[in-house]
Amino acid sequence: MGRITPEQYKDTTPSAYTLGRIHSVETMGTVDGPGIRFVVFTQGCPMRCAYCHNPDTWKTHAGTLVRVEDLIDQFKRKRSFYKSGGVTVTGGEPLLQPEFVGDYFYAMHHGELGFVHTCLDTCGFAFDTNQIERFERVFAETDLVLLDIKHSDSIGHRQLTGQAPERILAFGDELARRKIKTIIRHVVVPGITDTTHECFELGKLIGSWRNIVGLEMLPYHTMGVNKYEQLGLSYKLEGVRAMDKERLPELRQAVLAGMKHVRTK
């Protein structure tokens, strides 16, 4: 699908003054997309993943209000570092603010900086098929999506995140329909998402999406536990040890086998 021009949006002219609520900015990110990246962490998230290491991003009305223009100015100060990278918007959950993300990505593609690679890191839950027009610019101006699939089973997903997976899968379907390059991310948690069966089922779940260009198996870690203590929150995975990284290749192969199972039917 080609780029969408401003004339194709109803009453949504891109603006450098569009406001968004963010948690923080990382100017030299290396794990949220290719190359060195300018990473924006948005504020607010409807999910309550048991292993979330950023619970300080959950509250929707916390954080700092910024304009698209403010982020552009920050990016420009270290522009030379991002030649092989670009910008990433993560969270929290960035799709809670699609107008802000869409206008920011539009500026990265069509503004004074020339073309800058854009990456969206999301769980997809905030996507709403009944308000798809709100997401049009995000779809049109996103070069790469890092899509977090939390659990392959609906019940397991609810237990792990507090939410049902249907909206996430609908977002994945839409990315596939539009052929937007997507890397699937799956956090492997001991005793929850670390079986070959769960990973095989994950592969079956995403196997029909032909836009997938990568698969990242992320080992569960406990580095965010201290934040829960500071915020006075209980940690749901108390006592669960960090994931043994040596098992990741085996589990990755199980996901790939599940994908192949779908594609060879």
Please give the C-alpha separations between residue 131 and each of 46, 69, 90, 136, 142, in angstroms, as whole numbers: 17, 26, 21, 10, 18
Span 17-263 CATH architecture: Alpha-Beta Barrel (3.20)
CB contact at 8 A, 208 and 264: no
Burial of 249 per CB tally in 10 Å (0-12, 13-18, 19+): exposed
Residue 111's pLDDT is 87
- pLDDT of residue 256 exceeding 90, the answer is yes
pTM for this predicted structure: 0.92
Question: pLDDT averaged over the chain?
Answer: 93
The residue-averaged pLDDT of 128-145 equals 96
Residue 221's pLDDT is 92
Residue 43's pLDDT is 97
Residue 265's pLDDT is 76
Q: Which two tokens mark 199?
A: 């990973």
The pLDDT tens digits of the residues spanning 107-118 come to 999 988 989 999
Residue 11's pLDDT is 46
The residue-averaged pLDDT of 43-71 equals 94
The pLDDT tens digits of the residues spanning 187-215 come to 999 999 999 999 999 999 999 999 999 99
The pLDDT tens digits of the residues spanning 234-247 come to 999 999 999 999 99
Q: Which two tokens mark 3?
A: 């780029």
β-pair partners for 88: 39, 119
> What confidence category does residue 223 fall into, taking pLDDT thresholds of 50, 70 and 90?
confident
> What confidence category does residue 12 fall into, taking pLDDT thresholds of 50, 70 and 90?
low
The pLDDT tens digits of the residues spanning 149-169 come to 999 999 999 999 999 999 999
Burial code (b: 16+ CB inside 10 Å, e: under 16) for 27-50 equals: eebeebbbebbbbbbbbbbbbebb
Please give the C-alpha separations between residue 184 and each of 152, 169, 172, 208, 224, in angstroms, as whole numbers: 12, 12, 10, 13, 22
CB contact at 8 A, 218 and 188: yes
The residue-averaged pLDDT of 134-155 equals 97
What residue segments make up the domains of the chain, in order of their start? 17-263
Residue 107's pLDDT is 95
CB contact at 8 A, 159 and 170: no
Please give the C-alpha separations between residue 71 and each of 18, 80, 115, 228, in angstroms, as whole numbers: 11, 16, 16, 29
Pure H helices in the chain: 68-77, 98-110, 136-141, 154-161, 166-178, 196-206, 225-231, 248-263
The residue-averaged pLDDT of 48-59 equals 93
206 Cβ neighbours under 8 A, 6+ residues apart: 149, 172, 184, 212, 255, 259
The residue-averaged pLDDT of 239-257 equals 96
